Chains A and B, each alone.
Chain A
Amino acid sequence: MDVVDESRALRSAQASSGDQGPSPRTGLSRALTALQQVESTWAHRAPCETPGSRQDSTPLFPAAPIQHADHIQGATADPDQRKDGQDVPSRTKTARDPLSRRIVSLVFEDLPMARWLRWAEGRQDAPPEDLPVVLATEGPHGPVVHATNRAGALQGIIPGARVVDIRALCPQIRVEPADPEGDRATLRRLSFWARRWCPWTAPDGEDGLVLDTTGSAHLWGGEAAMLREIEGRFSLLGLSTRLAMAPTHGAAWALARYGPVRTVATPDTLAQATAPLPTRALRLDAETVLLLQRLGLKTVGDLCAVPRASLARRFATTALPQNPLARLDQLQGRLPEPVSAETEPPSFAVQARLAEPVQDPAPHLPDLCTDLCAALEQAGFGARRLTIAVYRTDGEVSRITAATARPTRDPAHLMRLWGDRLERIDPGFGFDLITLEANEAEDLARVQTRLDGRADESAARAKLIDRLVARLGHAAVQIPAPRPRHMPDRAEHWLPAMSGLAPDTGTLPAPARPVTLFDSPEEIRVLYAVPEGPPAQFVWRRQTQRITRFAGPERIAPEWWTDCPGTRLRDYYRIEAQSGHRLWIYRDGVLGDDRGETPRWFVHGCFA
C-alpha cells in the first residue's frame, strides 16, 4: 500500500506544481503501446529485418507475440506450416519470438469471501470461524452458492450447489447475498494496484489477474523471488493466491490453476510443464472438456500427440472456448494473445503547503479550487466527488467530502459547496497542509452555451441539487419515480436526486389519489361500523368526523409475491366529512376472510 500512497503523493505533487501531464506510469505504458504499434506495422509490412532499432528496444521493450509474422501466417493460411505445428516453432533470440514474453497469471482463491469477511468485521458482525457461511447469487431455480468459507468447504459445500439443498445438509449455515459487481470492481482496482510490479496488468476472468512482467523481473530479484513477493503482498492484503509464470498467457493461466505452486515455466520447459495438466486447463467450456474426455484425451500432452490436421478438421469452425486447437496454439504461443491493459483513470489533487500554521482554510480554498479546475479542464474531466483534507500540526487529519450531481469544473460552484461546513473543522493549534482532491472524476466535454443567452436549466438544477445535498445530506433530496404497482405506498419510489435519473411521470394510474399520503397509515376509531361501505362516524386525532358522502370501495389486493402470508386486502374509500375534510380511508381486510380479528380502519391520505 505504501507504494500506492507514494505514487498518489507524487501525482498530487505534480498537480500542485502545475505539471498536469500524465503520470509517469501511464506515460510509460503509452510509450510502450506506441512502440508496439510501430513494431507491429514493421512486422506486417516488412518480414525482413530492421535490426538496428529493434536491437535497441530489445532489453527494455520486447515485442508482444502478436508481431510474429510467421505465426500469423502459420495460424491462418499456410497448410504446410500447420502440419508441423505441434512442435514448438524454432526460436530465435529476436524480439519477435512469441515465447519471449513473461506472463504471470494469478488466481484468488477466495476473493468474494475475503471481501465479505472484511466487511462483516467492519460491522462487528463476523461469524465464528467454525460456522459455515455461503454467499449466494440468484440462479434460475432459486439461490445458488457463489462462494463459501473454509468451514463450509470442510462440510462439502461447493460453489454452484443450490442453497436449499445445502440448508438440508447443514441447517446452521449462514447465507448472505453475494456481490459479483463489487468483486469485479475490486478486481479492477487490484489490477491497478498490481502495476507496482509491471506496467501491464489486467483482470483475467472473474477471479484472476494477468501481469505482463516481461523485463521487470530483475527489479525484484529474479522471477522466483518476484512470484514470492507478489504472493506475499497479496497475503498481507488478506487474499490467498495461486500464481505461475510462463511465456504465454494460456500456459500461465493453466499452470496457476492446475500446476504446482509458483511454477516458473521457461520456453524450454513449457511443453514439459504443461503436458500433465488436464484439458480443463486449456480454458475450454465444460462440454468440450467432456467431449475430449470421451475421445480419450485427458491431458494437454494427449492433445499435443494428436495430429494437428485431425484436430483442425474437427474444430476448425468452432468458437474459441470450444476450440482445443486454438487454445493449444495460445498456450504454445502460435496464436498471439497480448495482455490488453486498461489505462488507469486519472486522479486529480492539488495541495497548499503553508509556511506557518493557520487556523482557517477558507482564504486558501479559492486558489485550490481554481488549480483543481484548471487541471480538470486540461484533462477534459469534471469532478463528481471532492475531498478537502486538512493536516494539523499535531498530526490529526480531518476531511470534508462533497459530491456533485453531474461533473463540474466551475471554481465558483465548488467554492459554494463547502459553505459553512469548513467551520466544523477543529483547527487545534493550526494546520500547515491543505489538499483538495477530486476522488471521482468523469468525462466532461465543453458544451456550447445557448444562443439565446438563457442559462442551461439542467445544469442549474444539478448545481442546486449539489448545494442542497452538501448541507442536508444525500438522502434528504429526492425525486419521485412512479412504479407499476397497485399498492399506493409502493406505487411511487423516491430516489436520491444525486442518482440523476430523469423523473418520468407519464404513466400514472387513473383512479383518484390524494395529494398527501401518510408514511404510516393512522388508525381511526370507528363508532358505527356498517357491514358494507364506510363507517357512518369515526374518531381521528381525537376529533369526531361524520361522513356525509363517499366514493368506493376501491379494493386493492396485497401483493402475494412480496407480502408476508396473512396480509389482508384493503378497501379504500374516498370520503367527505361534515366539516369538509376529504380523506382517504381504508378497511384492512373484510369480515370473515380468516385472516384475523374484526377489520380495522385507517386514514392513509388527505384529498385536496
Chain B
Amino acid sequence: MTRLSDPLPDATDAPSGAEPTLSELFATSTLDGAVTGFACAQLARFAEDPRPVVWIQDRLSRREAGRPCIAGLPRGLKLLYVRANRPVDVLWSMEESLYSDGICAVIAEVWGDPAVLDFTATKRIALRAEARATPALLLRRAATANLSAARLRWRIGALPALPDPYDARAPGVPQWQAELFRARSRAPGTWVAQPADGALSLTHPVAAQAPQRATA
C-alpha cells in the first residue's frame, strides 16, 4: 500500500485540473478505467461549457478499453466522438480539433507505441494546444513512456476506493495513484487523487518511491 510521507510538501502547487497544453496519461494497467476516470475528473469543469469535448479513439482502444459511456461521465459533459482507424488518424483529428474554436477540450486514446507518435507529432500538438489554450489529453494504454514533448506526463493506477458511507460492502468514491513523472516548470510528484465535485482533488502526496503498480 502507499506510504504517506511524513513532512507533507505543499499540495497547493499540484495541478488539479487539465492545463491548456498537451498532457500524456499513461495507464499502469489495461484492465480498468482509472486513466479514463482521471481524465474525466480533470475535464469535469467543462460540464457547464456549451462546447463539446472531442473524444478520439483508435480501433484497438475502442475494442480493448471500451467506448465512453455518457451516463458514467461527468453530468452535462457534451461529447463529439471520433472513431479513427489508425493512430495517425487520431493525431490528425487531434490537431484538426485544436484548430477549432468550437470545442473545449480534446481526449485522445492511442493503444501501444505506434511509430507515428514521436517527438515531432507530440510537439506539434503541444504547440497547437498552447496556441489555442485548449487542454489536450493523450491517454496511452499498453505504452512505454518514450521521448515526447508533452508538457505533463502522468502515470495513473487504481487504488482501492473509499468506503461507501451507506454500504460497507460496496466501493465508494474511486481513488487513483497519480504519478506526475515529468512536468515543465513544476516538480514531479506522486499523489493520491480522487474526483471531487466538478474537479480533480489530489488529496495528499505520496512519498517519492517506486510507484505502486497494479498487476498488469
Task: Give A residues with C-beta under 8 Å from B.
Answer: 454-455, 457-465, 467-468, 471-472, 475-480, 482, 488, 491-492, 494, 497, 503, 505, 508-509, 512-519, 540-541, 543, 548-551, 574-576, 579-583, 605-608
Contacts and interface: CB of A to CB of B under 8 A. Distances in A.
A608 B36 contact: yes
Given A505-B76, A579-B158, A582-B158, A464 B33 contact: no
B214 A580 contact: yes
B63 A579 contact: no
Contact of A477 (B70, B82, B176): B82
A460 B73 CA distance: 24
B159 interface: yes
Nearest to A517: B69
A465 to B, nearest CB: 7
A576 B164 CA distance: 12
A513 B174 contact: no
Given A460-B102, A462-B102, A582-B158, A505 B66 contact: no
8 contacts: A457-B102, A460-B100, A464-B54, A488-B69, A518-B66, A519-B63, A576-B171, A608-B176
B160 A455 contact: no
B69 A579 contact: no
B80 interface: yes
Given A581-B32, A608-B33, A461 B160 contact: no
**Chain A interface, >50% SS class:** mixed
Contact of A492 (B32, B70, B78, B170): B70
A6 B135 CA distance: 53
Interface in B119-143: none
Contact of A543 (B68, B71, B101, B215): B215
Nearest to A608: B37
A476 B54 CA distance: 13
Interface stretch (B9-17, B88-96, B144-152): B88-96
A454 to B, nearest CB: 8
Contacts of A505: 70, 75-78
Given A472-B82, A607-B72, 11 more contacts: A467-B96, A468-B96, A468-B97, A471-B92, A476-B84, A477-B82, A497-B80, A515-B33, A582-B158, A605-B66, A606-B36
Contact of A582 (B32, B62, B89, B97): B32
Nearest to B49: A457
B110 interface: no
Interface in B35-67: 36-38, 40-41, 50-52, 54, 62-63, 65-67
B40 A608 contact: yes
A461 B170 contact: no
A281 to B, nearest CB: 56
Given A551-B169, A581-B158, A513 B72 contact: yes
A549 B170 contact: yes
Interface string B160-191: 11001001011100101000000000000000
A471 B81 contact: no
A509 B69 CA distance: 12
Contacts of B62: 519
Interface string B80-119: 1111110001001100110111110000000000000000
B36 A574 contact: no
A579 B213 CA distance: 9
B37 A607 contact: yes
Contacts of A576: 160-161, 171
B79 A516 contact: no
B73 A515 contact: yes
Nearest to B167: A551
B81 A477 contact: yes
Given A468-B96, A480-B79, A580 B158 contact: yes
Nearest to A580: B158
A583 B32 CA distance: 7
A572 B81 CA distance: 26
A492 B81 CA distance: 13
Which of B63, B66, B67, B73 counts the most A-chain CB atoms under 10 A from its CB? B66
Nearest to B169: A549
Contacts of B102: 455, 457-464
Contact of A514 (B33, B50, B99): B33
B31 interface: yes
A589 to B, nearest CB: 23
Nearest to A575: B171
A514 B207 CA distance: 30
Contacts of A514: 33, 66, 69, 72
Contacts of B205: none
A463 B38 CA distance: 30
Nearest to A551: B170
Nearest to A482: B70
A540 to B, nearest CB: 7
Contacts of B73: 515
Contact of A606 (B65, B85, B159, B164): B65
B101 A457 contact: yes
B89 A472 contact: yes
A468 B81 contact: no
Nearest to B195: A608
A455 B51 CA distance: 12
A220 B177 CA distance: 84
B82 A468 contact: yes
Contacts of A541: 31
Given A497-B80, A582-B161, A461 B66 contact: no
Contacts of A543: 31, 215
A606 B170 contact: no
Given A517-B66, A581-B214, A550 B38 contact: no
Contacts of B96: 464, 467-468, 471
A516 B171 contact: no
Contact of A463 (B50, B75, B100, B174): B100
A46 to B, nearest CB: 60
A548 B167 CA distance: 13
